[in-house]
Amino acid sequence: MDRIDVKILGKVQDCGRISITELSKHAGLSIPATNDRLRKLEDSGVIKGYSAQLDPTKLGYGISAVVGITTLKPAKSKLIATLTDIPEVVECLHITGNDSYLIRIYAKSMADIEGIIAKINAYGETRTSIVLSIPIERRKLAP
């Protein structure tokens, strides 16, 4: 990976919908050369995909929570299967420390949060924190 790849990665993180023409101008390359580099970054897995960032509150999900759960090994696969089936679960991190997993949830009501916690309580002890604000939003990763 060279400085041109770094420029390309920085720009596509800023704007995943940038045209190849604009990206090539930014990188200082021809369109075919930029396309080749972009394809190589995608094929190597450096670029995993492109997606839109949605505002959960505009979709009616006014409550965000982070749930830590401590679970024993036999229950882990069942927990993951259950979490996969809950659309309000947007992220699950396998972590070290007191908790086994850290789960991010967006919900429309406290009753929804309570229902989700009830579903996963069967797999271990949970600790729930309601998110008050997000002072640092998802940021681009420096290559």
Contacts of 62 (CB under 8 A, 6+ apart): 56, 107, 108, 109
The CATH number of 3-43, from 1.10.10.10, 1.10.1050.10, 1.10.3720.10, 2.40.50.140, is: 1.10.10.10
Q: What is the pTM of this model?
A: 0.83
Fold entry, domain 56-130: Alpha-Beta Plaits (3.30.70)
Per-residue pLDDT averaged across 61-65, rounded?
97
* Residue partners of 63: CB distance under 8 A and separation at least 6: 106, 107, 108, 109, 110, 112, 113, 130
Q: Residue 21: its pLDDT value, please? A: 97
Q: What is the pLDDT of residues 103-114, one digit of tens each?
A: 999 999 999 999
**What residue spans define the domains of the chain?**
3-43, 56-130
Phi, psi of 8, deg, nearest 5:
-65, -45
Compute, in degrees rounded to 10, the torsion defined by CA atoms 87, 93, 53, 36. -120
Q: How confident is the model at residue 138 (pLDDT cuts 50, 70, 90)?
A: confident
